[in-house]
Chains A and B, each alone.
Chain A
């Protein structure tokens, strides 16, 4: 049964929610009972249940990282969240079978059209579970697997277990531990050797419920010589109370494989977005993270690549926009662990008004390696006197044969630039948008068309809102 009462639309596309009913609800707060409930409804094997219960212990034992990160983390009340909400664990294969309110949510966000237009597969997650999951038949014939993590664990345990938690161990940080105990949803992808998936696979993460935590777990494996592009979009409506999103994403690129992972998030201003993302690149493999962070109250996210095999390549391209009252704490990690590995980090942040951007970069090249290179560029753009940006690069490079290049800049949109743009007839918001879009232009060019259009639209909305 579902009701469609309180539908509330704001000027933003994603700001609406349906007053829906859930068949599965783990209740409020986090304890062993909740963890067992999740394992029960998913019908999980004992090893998964044990993994979860151990993670709960790790989570409880780890302090919040307020020694280096913001004190705002202390405002997260873990006892107040709901950790699992779903209408069932089996996603539909056709949009017709998706429950009406969920279907309408995704229709309003434009997901079915996108699938028809340019995607090879789509997964749409509503709160804790995938409501819809489908991939083109040709890909299935080639042996490509693209399912939700719940289904992946059940149907493909042999592949799942081999890589699960290997790139990001439970104890990596407090939030990876949290995810490890209550994870649900997210994607599981396996691309067989030599298969190059031409069109992107996309997942869409939608938070609908208030006081809710979304903890998807994504695992992508590109076997030798395989190639895949995965894109994720995320939205949530504006609630009065805080919402928590804490994902773990692990990528594994075996010899000669290529994975490109693109995120465009547009969280509303009440969301704590604390995400751990890391990839493992074997010999001659390439992992590229393209990460656009718009919205949220606090985002902490530092996509990384462990360059494990010779000639592996890692890249992080990130754009962060911190609007009024928001804090984007983002960056990148490059761990060089083999000779001739190369990494590239390009980060651009925009801070508006009281908005705050922080860049944290970590590049590690140990002494015994040879022929490794890193290039890091981070540029910040400030709009309004109050906005703030901090850069914390941590580069440890040892050994004579390795090189790093680091460039950082901070610039402002000047009153004279705005005057010039407005003298040509643009209003203040349009002038700001144009200047900001110009600042990120060289990065946006690397995105698939559909996403660069979406990103431009989000920037326009954010900038027009910022000038009142």
Chain B
């Protein structure tokens, strides 16, 4: 029950099937990593779970703590506790980071009630400090003119402020220099908790040195073809994906 459960999920875009009977169970308290070649459907999984309307769910189920999320609106899924750190965060001109996060927090309050502004800023500044984000950023427009690394940090900042039950981080490590990578990993590790499940999508084993996963899954052609512990990531790094492909075509199941 206390898990993000995806069962036999098939998803298509413009009639083309991307996820193919995909299954995954992410219990609270665990960190899982998904790796896989470009274009195999990692971001599709993230957006489909978040409720993006372009992604057509054809069959299968997805539940969060037992609750079906496939029929919910994007904002409802978010308020139920799913957070997606975007691979390509979107610019919102004129909307400051501070106002944006505050609006997101207020959306979780009962109708007509707002969060306490003083406490809010106190926490915001503390989280920004932890993530090495300059205070000046609070008055900058969301993602507008941010460097790649700044955008990724800002995603983690939002995650830290919203404290979701389940987090999907889509290539949050891409575009980060080594110092930023450590800071972001530290931010994520800080959020590891018994009450939270974290799914990290990445191409690089390096990130997993800092965010040590409980499980690693290899996504291929829209489904998980191999799962293992953190050593699987090392194996992929050394041997690439071809050996998995070869074993698959040879009919050897993982």
Point out the residue from B74, B95, B99, B158 that lies within 8 Å of A419, measured CB to CB. Answer: B74
Pair B92/A424 contact, Cβ less than 8 Å: no
- State the CA gap A253–B25 with chains docked (Å): 72
- Interface bits A416-436 vs B (CB < 8 Å: 1, else 0): 110111111111101100110
B67-87 interface with A by 8 A CB criterion: 73-75, 78-79, 83-84, 86
Tell me whether B52 is interfacial, beta carbon within 8 Å.
yes
Q: How far is the CB of B179 from chain A (nearest CB, A)?
A: 27
Interface-located stretch among B12-20, B103-111, B209-217, B238-246: B103-111
Tell me whether A37 is interfacial, beta carbon within 8 Å.
no
Interface-located stretch among A1-9, A324-332, A437-445: A437-445
List residues of chain B with CB within 8 A of the CB of A415.
Answer: 53-54
List residues of chain A with CB within 8 A of the CB of B94.
Answer: 437-442
- State the CA gap A339–B230 with chains docked (Å): 75
14 extra A-B contacts, CB within 8 A, seeds A424-B162, A438-B94: A420-B86, A421-B92, A421-B100, A422-B74, A422-B78, A424-B100, A427-B73, A428-B73, A430-B103, A435-B95, A438-B93, A438-B95, A439-B93, A440-B94
- Interface bits A427-467 vs B (CB < 8 Å: 1, else 0): 11011001101111110000000000000000000000000
Tell me whether B127 is interfacial, beta carbon within 8 Å.
no
Pair B95/A420 contact, Cβ less than 8 Å: no
- State the CA gap A437–B142 with chains docked (Å): 13
Closest partner residue, chain A, to B159 (CB atom): A424
A198-225 interface with B by 8 A CB criterion: none
Residues on B lying within 8 angstroms of A by beta carbon are 50, 52-54, 73-75, 78-79, 83-84, 86, 89-95, 99-101, 103-104, 107-108, 141, 158, 162
Q: How far is the CB of A246 from chain B (nearest CB, A)?
A: 34
Q: Which A-B residue pairs are the 10 nearest by beta carbons?
A: A438-B94, A438-B95, A441-B94, A420-B90, A422-B74, A424-B104, A425-B78, A425-B107, A422-B75, A425-B79
Pair B92/A417 contact, Cβ less than 8 Å: yes
- State the CA gap A384–B63 with chains docked (Å): 32
Point out the residue from B54, B79, B141 that lies within 8 Å of A438, measured CB to CB. Answer: B141
Pair B104/A420 contact, Cβ less than 8 Å: no
List residues of chain A with CB within 8 A of the CB of B52.
Answer: 419
Pair A434/B92 contact, Cβ less than 8 Å: yes
List residues of chain B with CB within 8 A of the CB of A438.
Answer: 92-95, 141
- State the CA gap A434–B101 with chains docked (Å): 11
Closest partner residue, chain B, to A411 (CB atom): B93
Q: How far is the CB of B217 from chain A (nearest CB, A)?
A: 23
**Max chain B CB contacts within 10 Å: which of A415, A424, A435?**
A424
- State the CA gap A434–B141 with chains docked (Å): 12
- State the CA gap A434–B103 with chains docked (Å): 8
Pair B108/A425 contact, Cβ less than 8 Å: yes
Closest partner residue, chain B, to A418 (CB atom): B74
Q: How far is the CB of A407 from chain B (nearest CB, A)?
A: 15
Q: How far is the CB of A135 from chain B (nearest CB, A)?
A: 35
Q: How far is the CB of B165 from chain A (nearest CB, A)?
A: 13
Pair A441/B95 contact, Cβ less than 8 Å: yes
List residues of chain B with CB within 8 A of the CB of A421.
Answer: 92, 100
Pair B92/A423 contact, Cβ less than 8 Å: no
Pair A426/B141 contact, Cβ less than 8 Å: no
- State the CA gap A422–B83 with chains docked (Å): 11
Pair A434/B162 contact, Cβ less than 8 Å: no
- State the CA gap A423–B87 with chains docked (Å): 14
Closest partner residue, chain B, to A444 (CB atom): B94
Pair B73/A426 contact, Cβ less than 8 Å: no
- State the CA gap A183–B4 with chains docked (Å): 68
- State the CA gap A168–B158 with chains docked (Å): 54
A390-422 interface with B by 8 A CB criterion: 414-417, 419-422
Closest partner residue, chain A, to B104 (CB atom): A424
- State the CA gap A328–B159 with chains docked (Å): 40
A298-319 interface with B by 8 A CB criterion: none
Q: How far is the CB of A424 from chain B (nearest CB, A)?
A: 4
Pair B95/A428 contact, Cβ less than 8 Å: no
- Interface bits A345-369 vs B (CB < 8 Å: 1, else 0): 0000000000000000000000000
Closest partner residue, chain B, to A417 (CB atom): B90
List residues of chain B with CB within 8 A of the CB of A416.
Answer: 90
Q: How far is the CB of A319 from chain B (nearest CB, A)?
A: 12
Pair A422/B73 contact, Cβ less than 8 Å: yes
Pair A430/B93 contact, Cβ less than 8 Å: no
Q: How far is the CB of A75 from chain B (nearest CB, A)?
A: 36
Known A419-B74, A420-B86, A438-B141; contact A426-B92, beta-carbon cutoff 8 A? no
Closest partner residue, chain A, to B47 (CB atom): A419
Point out the residue from A417, A427, A437, A441 that lies within 8 Å of B107, measured CB to CB. Answer: A427
